[in-house]
Amino acid sequence: MTVRRIFAAAALAGTALVATAGRAAPEDAGASNALLETPAMAEPAYLQPTRDPVFGTPLVRITAPERPMAGGRCGVRYCTHRYSTAQAWNADQSLLVIVNGCGGACFLNGRTFQPLFRRDMAGECEWHPTDPAAMICVDGRAVYVWLPRANRRRTFQTLPTYAGAQFGPYKGNPSADGERIVVRARDAQGRRVAFAFDLATGRIHPPIDLGKLEGENNYCTISASGAYIVCGQNLPDEKETLYVFTADGEPVQHWAEHHRPGHGDLTTDPDGADVYVGISKSDPDRFHVIKRRLSDGRITDLLPYGQVSHASLRNTRRPGWVFLSFTGDRQAVGGTPDNGKAPFYQEVLALRTDGSRTVRRIAQTRNAAADYWSETHAAPSPDGSRVIWSSNWGRAGGPVSDYVTTVDWPDSRSRAAGEPAEEAER
């Protein structure tokens, strides 16, 4: 069966769009796999709630370049969250951090988005997934837990035989329970290595000699379960490949294809299997969204050819969905889904990771392609109830702000009405 027929069959089976909103979305927005126009919309004013005109979802602009921000001032070009795979909210979603263009780390109220305070942040820090007061940080020769409100370090563990320690870099995250991370550093012989590090005990697992891998290391991170280390490599021919190891550094997989997948994130499937969900840039699923199992490399095709730039799975308390950032324009998508392309552009949506191709359309971004700092980088809150994303609002090269869209999940409404959670949609 062709991709075109598969996609059409999925739509006919009712596995395509489900519009989400605090109120009913326009009827045509809830139609199966519709290719939608983007109506004109004025750029929202700072902290003034509005709604997406197509999906009806609540929307608020939470930053504005050059505006005072928590004791500092946003930069002229951009003022945004860090990246699609970096959690912007803390564990209880009471705080949100802005780091790009803020001259440090600017902390906002995670619900009202009012600026609260600014901190200088040493090294690389990510929110602890279960402790709302804490961030996990790596800096040079140390791993520590930092409490941003109090601006103090709660625990501190040195790495005396290593130098230049990094959290990833840039793409590092803790395991889902917050117990384990991967540190990249130089050992006493000057070799670049990566190793799993247990936060509670300070245990350093056997290091991986990254110099023995093909290409130059880009980053290493831990899987959601903490059982695997994933390392991304850049090759001289510009291919991007992946290696998978156990937490003790034993080789498991080498995915030698270019970017198959990449620009994605890690999670666990319902059966507990660690998986990577992202965008393929190699045949036979070039520019598809795919899921790949870390243990054996098995691939599940989640969405056909499309304009996806990044995938995020920071919704750790609402598993089973991946949040996607779409770029491109209507012309790039083409006429109808029957052309085999996913009918989405300049949009944020959530996609089921079970292969059903069920999606929830969240926001039209109106984000014109320009440079890295203009990329959408949509990232959900831990419970998936909010999504932060960036946009220049149609001005290529213009100032870039952050926006937050609220996602109204059916099970949240059911619990509020007193219905059993197990009867609500997940």
φ, ψ of residue 332 in degrees (nearest 5): -65, -35
At residue 73, the pLDDT reads 84
Element (H, E) at 216: strand 216-222
Over residues 165-179, the mean pLDDT reads: 97
pLDDT band at 335 (very low <50, low <70, confident <90, very high): low
Q: How far is CA 295 from the centre of its chain?
A: 22
- Residue 8 identity (one-letter amino acid): A
Q: Provide the token pair at 123.
A: 């090294």
Distance CA 207, CA 195 (A): 4
Distance CA 235, CA 176 (A): 30
Residues 265/277, Cβ–Cβ less than 8 Å: yes
At residue 9, the pLDDT reads 33
Over residues 305-310, the mean pLDDT reads: 97
pLDDT above 80 for 24: no
Q: Provide the token pair at 4.
A: 């075109």
At residue 332, the pLDDT reads 84
Over residues 330-345, the mean pLDDT reads: 77
pLDDT above 60 for 82: yes
For 263, what's the count of Cα atoms within 13 Å in the CB-facing half-sphere? 22
The model's pLDDT over 99-145, given as tens digits with 9 standing for 90+, comes to 999 989 999 999 999 999 999 988 999 999 999 999 999 999 999 99
- Residue 125 identity (one-letter amino acid): C
φ, ψ of residue 249 in degrees (nearest 5): 85, 10
pLDDT above 80 for 371: yes
Residue 18: closest CA among 61, 266, 10: 10
Over residues 204-224, the mean pLDDT reads: 98
Q: What DSSP line would sit under 91-104, residue for residue? A: TTSSEEEE-BTTTS
Residues 6+ apart with CB under 8 A from 331: none
Residues 287/308, Cβ–Cβ less than 8 Å: yes
pLDDT band at 348 (very low <50, low <70, confident <90, very high): very high
Residue 266: closest CA among 217, 215, 316, 218: 316
At residue 337, the pLDDT reads 52
At residue 423, the pLDDT reads 36
Over residues 238-243, the mean pLDDT reads: 98
Residues 326/38, Cβ–Cβ less than 8 Å: no
Over residues 380-402, the mean pLDDT reads: 98
Distance CA 389, CA 375 (A): 9
Average pLDDT over the chain reads 89
Class of the 53-409 domain?
mainly beta
Q: Provide the token pair at 423.
A: 């009867």
